[in-house]
Each structure stands twice: as C-alpha cells, then as structure tokens.
A = this chain, B = another copy of it.
Amino acid sequence: MSLVAQALREAVCRANLDLVARGLVMETFGNVSGVDRDAGLFVIKASGVPYDELTAEHMVPVSLATGLPLESRFRPSSDTPTHHELYRAFPRCGAVAHTHSEFATAFAQARTPIACMGTTHADYFRGDVPVTRPMTREEVDTDYERHTGLVIVETFTTHQLSAEDVTAVLVANHGPFAWGHDAADAVERAAVVEYLARMECTQRIVAPGAPKPADYLINKHFSRKHGKDAYYGQK
C-alpha cells in the first residue's frame, strides 16, 4: 500500500471504531469506507470482524473501477458493492457509513422518511432524509448488494435530490446509509440521522400532525453551516 492509502486505512479504521463509541452499532453490524479517487480505490471494513479486534489491516482496499478487492487477506464487507455504487454515482462523496442504528432503522422498517422538522436537521440536511422503494425479487436474488446501491441512487434521481444537500438515505426494511467529505464526517452524519430519528419519534407522540418549518428557515440553517455564505465556527 502507498502511504496515502495507509493513512486512509487508519482514518477509516478510526471511523469504524467511532461507530461503536457512538452507540450506532449492534453486534458486528455496520461499516465505514473512505475513497481515494486519485488512487482509484476505496477501503472498507472486512466482513464480520469483531470491533474489539479491528485494526487498520482489516480495512480492505477495493478498486473503484471494478469493485473488486485489491488484496486477498480479508474478505471485504458484504455491503461493499453498495458502497461502490454510491462512489460511482455521487462524485463528491468521500466516505460512506452504514449502520443498523436503532431509531433510524425503525424508520426504515416503517418505510417513512425522517422529515425535516427543525433547525437541528437543517443544520446537516437540506430537507427530508428519504426512504427507498422496496426492492424487487430480481434485485434481491441477483447482485443484492449492488442493487441496494442502485436503488439508493434511483431514489435521489426520482425525487430530484442533490446528494450534496441530503447526505443520507434509509433503505426500506434495512437501515440508514450516510456519506460525507471523509470517514469522520460520514460517521458524524450517521450519528445525526439517528438523533433526528429519535427526536421525530418523540415529536410524533407529542403532536402527530405537526406542521413542517418554513423552507426559509431550513435554507437559513443549512447555509449558515454549508457553502460560501457559512458563518458558523471559527473560519
């Protein structure tokens, strides 16, 4: 591995461990990958390795061109083809995090988007976190994990969503995927998706039909933190 790829491996390993530290992981479920587009590869967690044994060596390099592993020591995550499709379709996506975190997965099982109900949501995502359509028998029986990626991409195309404005999705009856600039950013967004799902669950108990905030409030908060007019933070 090049020095660059080794640094990527270490960052992706830290991000995978951060999934656990943030309470987003059940058993060995969940995985983070990160891409190096110049090197033409991404690295992803090996399949089914217990988190307490995880090291940078368990981050498997995969060809961005073919989706095939560039090493044979460890089998990459079974979800690798899903990550691969996201890197292909979303050119500014630098890393992907997948979890079965409790509340976001419950929304996926409810086939219900996480609605943009307030400024916490709008600080991260410009609009609802969408949910995919259910997959067909053909999609599940052949190249299941690749089709999972394709149905995510289709969701963004069909709803005319920008994968830079909305950097997360719920796969119906499965769970959330989130992406960002780098592996740490993708994990932060996966954590925020879980937090937003928790809050919307409570909001639905308190006021099931509560109105959404106005678009101008959502756009204000999103642009406070993102893009050329951002004024949050120290830079």
Q: Which residues of A contact B (CB under 8 A)?
A: 26-27, 29, 46-49, 74-75, 78, 100, 102-103, 105-112, 117-120, 123, 134-135, 137, 140-141, 144, 172-175, 188, 191-192, 195, 197-207, 210-211, 213-214, 216-217, 220, 224, 231-234
Determine if A201 and B204 form an interchain contact, defined as CB atoms under 8 angstroms apart: no
| A–B complex contacts, Cβ < 8 Å, 25 sampled | A26-B195, A27-B192, A29-B120, A47-B233, A48-B232, A48-B234, A74-B234, A78-B232, A100-B119, A102-B195, A102-B198, A103-B202, A105-B120, A106-B199, A106-B202, A107-B203, A109-B210, A110-B206, A112-B207, A118-B174, A118-B175, A137-B216, A172-B213, A173-B217, A201-B205
**CA A220 to CA B205, docked complex, whole Å:** 30
- In the assembled complex, the CB of A208 is this many whole angstroms from the nearest CB of chain B, namely 9
Determine if A120 and B100 form an interchain contact, defined as CB atoms under 8 angstroms apart: yes
Q: How many chain copies?
A: 4
CB < 8 Å neighbour of A214 from B26, B137, B200, B232: B137
